Structure 1
Amino acid sequence: MSQEPNTPEHDRTEQQASSRADEDIASAFVRETEVIEEAVEDGKKVRRRGIYLLPNLFTTSALFSGFFAVIAGINGDFTAAAVAIFIAMVLDGLDGRVARMTNTQSAFGAEYDSLSDMVSFGVAPALVAFTWILQDIGKTGWVVAFLYVACAALRLARFNVQIGSTDKKWFIGLPSPSAAAFVAASVWTFNSFDAGAVGFKLLMLLVVAAAGVLMVSNIRYHSFKDIDFKKPVPFVVLLAIVLGFVMISVQPSVMLLLLFGAYVVSGPALAVMRKMKQAPAA
């Protein structure tokens, strides 16, 4: 069978078809990510595109805190860097809740939040830990720091594709904000000690590596999303919460390290307990 030669008209037709396909993809992306509002101006309906300001303002603030942590770490102010990561964590927890409360969820906001998390909970903790102590270990130090960054990226990508398909009661793998908090609290606490000691270097190497690997593991972590804050609770629960805030205010770095350290360990501990229960009795 003979093939028709490619003529200029044929090439133009293919280019136009390809251009239309690209435009369809672009318009579909815009419809998915942007908010379209209809307004009446001079008696005519006008369609306006935009994004929701309030939740994305919280996301931008979290991104700013993560970037500030990077700058503070480079400048050697490791306490400020650790605090900035915790501030980013608080702001990151607020943007989604604000979006749900105000009914301003959007695909754009979800993607923007993920990119912000990559900076605040992926790059920032690894860079702060590296500039503080891991750089003294040489090649092993930066390899472990990169391992953490890569695992954070993989964790966020997996979370994005699993939205709506997993049990909301559990996270699969250590959440990136909790991993970042564990690393940041370690830097914040141990920064007041002799960082030149070999023991601290090996300890931080283990902390960063473990946090990274646990993010991409299949170990389940409780999400606490099933807690109903509208239901009444015993008075002792309120007393425990107040006591917790008091203890954190007295010694924030140590208490936050203990809190998030316990959460990091809770995943493997519960997994071992489930295995022991499932094992047949001898």
Structure 2
Amino acid sequence: MKGPFAPYDPNGRRRSPRLREIPLRLILPNLVTVLAICAGLSGIRLAFEGRFEIAVAMVLVAAFLDALDGRLARMLKASSNFGAQMDSLADIMNFGVAPALVLYAYVLDSAGAVGWTAALVFAIACCLRLARFNVMLDDPDRPAWQNDYFVGVPAPAGALLVLMPVYLGLIGVPVNQTFGFVAAAFTVCVALLLVSQLPVYSGKSSGMRVRRDLVLPLMLAIVGYVALLFSYTWTTLALTAAAYFAMLPFSVRAYARRAERADRDAHVTTEDGSGGAA
């Protein structure tokens, strides 16, 4: 007798082995993704209730859980097509819709239709950015070294950046109509960064290895950052967003240098190949 729910096929019926019971490790990453969606939706509710500090915290929790679920899936060898699709949908909610609505409830509504338009533009830009990212994953012609860079600002970073007006308001910057129009223009700028061709360093090449002499300083730096985050939350987040903006030109310059080196190496290889054929 069939139950009321469809059986869980993580990779579809054609690819998944038929299992009478699903190991918990295959479900755990998806549960983390669901918790991330819950955090993002809760942030929206809290924002419209006027509890903006907790609302921003919920968006940041959603970002943390989003970073955790993929790594957890790879660690547990529980990656699946179902999880990948669910993660993409969660990203749209947590990094597009939730930050836009939190920002709108806090300051953009003071700019009227302009503020709502800016919120819509950011949410749609996040959707477009995520769709482009998923398509680029299947590109076999993309050079391996380009995997060290995102094309455009990634969605989690976009969520962190677009909430800058909230950080400033909670620090003490007056939130009025003028600030609302400035925040709307800023929101559109962040949206353009999401869908741009700007190469943004991802940290994947060196993020997994640290020189032995830098381990202890790195640990101290992380402890110091976390301490500042808990003690001076909004100032620290505002400075973090500003530092990310400041990093972008260096990322573009590093990408240009690597592209030039790759073109030079490809040109030398072509010349060597043609010389050998002759």
TM-score range normalised by the length of the shorter chain: 0.7 to 0.9
Distance 1:99 1:233, change over 3 A: farther
Counterpart check, 1:59 vs 2:33: yes
Counterpart check, 1:186 vs 2:165: yes
Q: TM-score when scaled to structure 1?
A: 0.76
1:36-51 alignment, distance < 5 Å: 36-38=17-19
1:218 is matched with: 197
2:12 is matched with: 30
Match of 1:240 among 221, 232, 237: 221
Q: State the 1:259 CA deviation.
A: 1.2
Distance 1:112 1:259, change over 3 A: same
Q: State the 1:30 CA deviation.
A: 2.5
Q: State the 1:274 CA deviation.
A: 6.8
Q: State the 1:276 CA deviation.
A: 10
1:79–1:188 Cα contact (<8 Å) kept = no
Distance 1:103 1:273, change over 3 A: closer
2:268 is matched with: none
Deviations 1:98-142 (A, max 9, x none): 000000001110110010111111001111111111111122111
**Which one has the bigger strand percentage?**
1
Deviations 1:14-37 (A, max 9, x none): xxxxxxxxxxxxx9x8336x8434
Counterpart check, 1:271 vs 2:255: no
Q: State the 1:82 CA deviation.
A: 0.6
1:1-282 alignment, distance < 5 Å: 30-31=12-13, 35-38=16-19, 52-163=26-137, 165=139, 166=142, 167-193=146-172, 195-226=174-205, 227-229=207-209, 232-234=212-214, 235-271=216-252
Structure 1 counterpart of 2:137, which letter?
A: I
Structure 1 counterpart of 2:172, which letter?
A: F
- Of 119-128 and 166-175, deviating more is 166-175
Distance 1:48 1:68, change over 3 A: closer
Structure 2 counterpart of 1:114, which letter?
A: S
Q: State the 1:275 CA deviation.
A: 6.8
Stretches of structure 2 lacking an aligned partner (at least 5 in a row): 1-8, 261-278
Q: State the 1:163 CA deviation.
A: 1.3
Query: What SS does structure 2 have at the residue aligned with 1:36?
Result: coil
Instruction: Provide the rounded CA distance (Å) in 1 between the counterparts of 2:245 and 2:119.
Output: 18
Structure 2 counterpart of 1:113, which letter?
A: D
Report sequence identity in percent. Answer: 30
Query: What SS does structure 2 have at the residue aligned with 1:168?
Result: helix
Q: TM-score when scaled to structure 2?
A: 0.77
Instruction: Provide the rounded CA distance (Å) in 2 between the counterparts of 1:105 and 1:125.
Output: 27
Q: State the 1:224 CA deviation.
A: 1.2
- Of 117-126 and 181-190, deviating more is 181-190
Instruction: Provide the rounded CA distance (Å) in 2 between the counterparts of 1:38 and 1:132.
Output: 48
Instruction: Provide the rounded CA distance (Å) in 2 between the counterparts of 1:243 and 1:31.
Output: 49
Q: State the 1:198 CA deviation.
A: 4.3
Q: State the 1:170 CA deviation.
A: 0.8
Instruction: Provide the rounded CA distance (Å) in 2 between the counterparts of 1:177 and 1:152.
Output: 10
Distance 1:265 1:154, change over 3 A: farther
Query: What SS does structure 2 have at the residue aligned with 1:221?
Result: strand
Instruction: Provide the rounded CA distance (Å) in 2 between the counterparts of 1:139 and 1:249.
Output: 35
Q: How many residues were matched structurally? A: 244
